[in-house]
Amino acid sequence: MPGGTVGAYVRRVTTPPPENPYGAPPQGGAPQQYGAVPYGQQYGQPAPYGQYGLPVQQTESRAIIALVLAILSFVVFPVIPAVVALVLARGAQEEIDLSAGRLTGSGLVTAARVLSWINLGLAGAALLLVVLALGLFAV
């Protein structure tokens, strides 16, 4: 090969490609299409060793049970389900706080607490009215 041919070949290979007529890709490379899998990784495979995937979040089951009991306490005997809901809500909140984001349900716990306290307040007011009514009629 003559020397000029090699230089021309290298020049053609090292020249940058023409600019994109549709504009430059966003910072960090081309946008990934919806549902596209990163290069080298197939669907359903865990992340390679040393890489972290997204944590799977689950709703704390005691938070759901506490909310169901708090709602149920308005229909059934008011005091017992409301107290059980408060106890379950406390345990559920502790588990959610200790899970480092793996467990969710803080909103359910808050709703269960609010409903339980409202129910206990209404039950206490009703009991106070019954005691006052009995006291007035006993005289």
What DSSP element (H or E) covers 104?
Answer: strand 103-104
The pTM assigned to this predicted structure is 0.59
| Range of lowest pLDDT (18-22, 29-33, 80-84, 118-122) | 29-33
pLDDT above 80 (res 83): yes
Average per-residue pLDDT in the chain? 79
pLDDT above 90 (res 27): no
pLDDT above 60 (res 42): no
Residue spans of alpha helices (H) in 41-105? 61-72, 79-98
pLDDT band at residue 30 using 50, 70 and 90 as cut-offs = low
Q: What is the mean pLDDT of residues 97-117?
A: 95
Q: Which of 41 and 138 is assigned the larger pLDDT?
A: 138
Contact (CB, 8 A) for 113 and 78? no
pLDDT above 80 (res 85): yes
Q: Which of 59 and 23 is assigned the larger pLDDT?
A: 59
CA 124, distance to chain mean position in Å, is 35
